[in-house]
A and B are shown apart, each in its own frame.
Chain A
Amino acid sequence: AQSVAQPEDQVNVAEGNPLTVKCTYSVSGNPYLFWYVQYPNRGLQFLLKYITGDNLVKGSYGFEAEFNKSQTSFHLKKPSALVSDSALYFCAVRDPAGGSYIPTFGRGTSLIVHP
């Protein structure tokens, strides 16, 4: 079985400060991990993914995420937050060993960047 957890419902950060949105996962084998962003009344947009290789993955809009196998985490980061980064962020996992094409999404973390 595959699962993902986003322990924070909301993250508040001041503009210009670094931000981190946390995600932990559970799979039987090696995970495929994804981050998506959702703006109000819009569909989810893909930000970045980890499949294999370098643990630090760079994605859209200056975001990056670090895959940590020992801690089963895939936290989303950005060195300097913008007000326009305020949105709902979803972490997702897929277990290739499980043979399923259905990703499991976290509950979402609301990121609020204050001017």
Chain B
Amino acid sequence: SQTIHQWPATLVQPVGSPLSLECTVEGTSNPNLYWYRQAAGRGLQLLFYSVGIGQISSEVPQNLSASRPQDRQFILSSKKLLLSDSGFYLCAWIGIGLGMNTEAFFGQGTRLTVV
């Protein structure tokens, strides 16, 4: 079965420090991968999505970047964190091989607090 792993679960980082959040998927190949940010426990803001290795689309200009070094690995990064980067980050995937009607599967999320 397909599973998605996201870590770490919580992270406290000082302003100006770098960031690396990792997401990996098991049990599928060539998934579409997504990074979302959720502020204040409400709506989801799409940050990046990727349809394949090395292919990254950015939805919102910001202090973050994403990379997809392997088919089932999606990384969210920052060189210097800002206070406004605090939030709940979620990784998700949709298996395009299963057709467009497939639901999204989400990781457990990372609670990032920038201090």
Q: Interface of A with B (CB < 8 Å)?
A: 32, 34, 36, 40-46, 49, 51, 88, 90, 92, 94, 96, 101-103, 105-108
**Would you list 20 pairs from A and B whose C-beta atoms are within 8 A, ordered by A residue?**
A32-B100, A36-B103, A36-B104, A36-B106, A41-B88, A43-B106, A43-B108, A44-B92, A44-B104, A46-B104, A51-B101, A92-B104, A94-B100, A101-B49, A102-B34, A103-B94, A105-B43, A107-B42, A108-B42, A108-B43
Q: Is the CB of A45 within 8 A of B106?
A: yes
Q: Are A107 and B111 in contact (CB under 8 A)?
A: no
Contacts of B103 in A (CB 8 A): 34, 36, 46, 49
Q: Is the CB of A101 within 8 A of B51?
A: yes
Q: Across the interface, which residues of A come within 8 angstroms of B43, CB to CB?
A: 105-108
Task: Compute the total of residue contacts between A and B using a CB distance below 8 Å.
Answer: 57
B101 close to A96 (CB less than 8 A): yes
Contacts of A92 in B (CB 8 A): 104
Q: Does the CB pair A32–B90 fall under 8 Å?
A: no
Q: A94-B100, A101-B51, A101-B100 are in contact. Are A46 and B105 (CB under 8 A)?
A: yes
What per-residue 1/0 map shows which CB atoms of B38-51 lie under 8 Å from chain A? Answer: 00011110100101
